[in-house]
Every structure is written in C-alpha cells, then in structure tokens.
Amino acid sequence: MSDDTYTGLGEYYYSFHNVLSSAPGWNTITMPLVRNDSWDGGGWNLTGWAGDSDDGELDVHAIGGFHFEFSIAGSGRVIILRNSNS
C-alpha cells in the first residue's frame, strides 16, 4: 500500500530491551507486533520522540523498514547480531 501524496515521516515505534543484563551467551529478543506502549520489551511504544503521531495504530501491513539502536553505559560489553537463518 502506498500513498504518493504522503509527505510526513511516518510513525516511529520503539521497543526497549535490557540485553546486557541477560545471562552470558546467545540470547533471543522477541518483539510482538502490538502497540501497548511497553517500556520493557513487551510490545511497541509510540513515544513521540520522532516522526508523526498519525492515527496512533501500529499498522503492521505498512511497516516499511526497521533499524537497531543500542544505548549502553560503556562498560566494555559486546553485542553480536546473528541471522537466525544462518
């Protein structure tokens, strides 16, 4: 679905996970595709930090992309991403 007349940034949803407190070794993050304004990784949060509010609905059919952003305290830990299909 595309709307060539739309010029906004779209809705930016965030999901928060504290991965560096997990047990050592490989850990999995599961992100359910629901908007519930969770701050603990149990869903997606429309914080209003970026993008538009639009209708406030997480329209999974309209997801155009995603990116990962890490914020750590700088204690020397390492995060390695692996494709689960490999």
What value, to the nearest 5°, has the Cα angle with vertex 64 and ends 61 and 66?
115
Residue ranges per structural domain of the chain = 24-86
In angstroms, the CA 33 to CA 82 distance is 21
Residue 78 vs residue 9, higher pLDDT: 9
Residue 34: what pLDDT?
Answer: 92
Is there a contact between 44 and 38 (Cβ–Cβ < 8 Å)? yes
Whole-structure pTM value: 0.68
Alpha-carbon torsion (52, 56, 57, 58), positive or negative = positive
pLDDT tens digits, 27-84: 788 888 999 998 988 899 999 898 888 888 888 888 888 888 777 766 666 777 777 7
In angstroms, the CA 58 to CA 22 distance is 28
